[in-house]
Amino acid sequence: MTRPSGQAPAATPHAVSRRLTTGVSVLTSAHGGSVHAATASTVAVLSQQPLTLAVSLRRNSVLAELATLSGYFVVNVLTSRQAVLADWFAFPRRPRGRAQFGPVDWRTDTATGIPVLTDHLALLTCRIVGRTAVGADDDLIIAEVTAAEAGRGNPLVNYDGRLLDPEFNAVVRRPGWRPRAHEPVLD
């Protein structure tokens, strides 16, 4: 059977979900002298009051265990110039512990003892307030933001499995326009 002209090819739900554009961060945590970091593109704001985030972590991962034990983690939001850091902290054979921070500029957060990147788009220190199992091997971590720090730059984004530097071009908007029930919505 042929596909009508202009129709997209069939895709799996997983393949289609990769089209959700997300920011890229390095999550860090520490407990009892152990530290760990991991790249994540699963951070989302759940509530503004109080500012609450959610992040999906692989169950029983080093990062999930340290964050659970300490009760804290830090979201280091990456700039578009930091794709190499996203790759580094996603590399499974990088050194463990503090050695994984060897090639990057970092400092210790004085309130939590967690390593943070000195160059970042934003830092969000988070206190875990909930955790729930999701799927076969992930946990959804819910956390309130206890401290924040703004950096400079453009965000690094993940789209369809690729790390990208978005161009921020203004889009045309029609102030005050709302669709009426009988008016088709334009795409």
**pLDDT, position 6:** 63
**Total tally of structural domains belonging to the chain:** 1
Beta bridge partners of residue 28, listed in sequence order: 37, 74
Nearest C-alpha neighbor of 89 from the set 103, 71, 70 = 103
Please check whether residue 124 lies inside any domain of the structure: yes
**pLDDT, position 187:** 57
- Our CA angle for 130, 134, 137, nearest 5°, is 115
- Tell me the whole-structure pTM to 2 decimals: 0.86
Q: Which domain holds residue 79?
A: 22-164
Please check whether residue 55 lies inside any domain of the structure: yes
Please check whether residue 169 lies inside any domain of the structure: no
Please check whether residue 90 lies inside any domain of the structure: yes
Range list of H helices, the chain: 13-17, 62-70, 83-90
Please check whether residue 179 lies inside any domain of the structure: no
Please check whether residue 8 lies inside any domain of the structure: no
**pLDDT, position 172:** 78
Beta bridge partners of residue 18, listed in sequence order: none
Please check whether residue 87 lies inside any domain of the structure: yes
Beta bridge partners of residue 25, listed in sequence order: 40, 77
CB atoms within 10 A of CB 124: 22
Q: What is the dihedral of CA 158, 24, 22, 148, to 10 degrees?
A: -160
Distance (Å, rounded) from C-alpha 139 to C-alpha 55? 8
Please check whether residue 52 lies inside any domain of the structure: yes
Write out pLDDT tens, residues 46-65.
Answer: 999 999 999 999 999 999 99
**pLDDT, position 185:** 60
The structure tokens 């819910």 sit at: 142
CB atoms within 10 A of CB 154: 13
**pLDDT, position 2:** 53
Distance (Å, rounded) from C-alpha 128 to C-alpha 143? 4
Distance (Å, rounded) from C-alpha 72 to C-alpha 115? 12
**pLDDT, position 186:** 62
Q: Please identify every stretch of the chain with a pLDDT value under 50, giving residue numbers as ranges.
A: 1
The CATH number given to whatever domain includes residue 111 is: 2.30.110.10
Distance (Å, rounded) from C-alpha 131 to C-alpha 63? 14
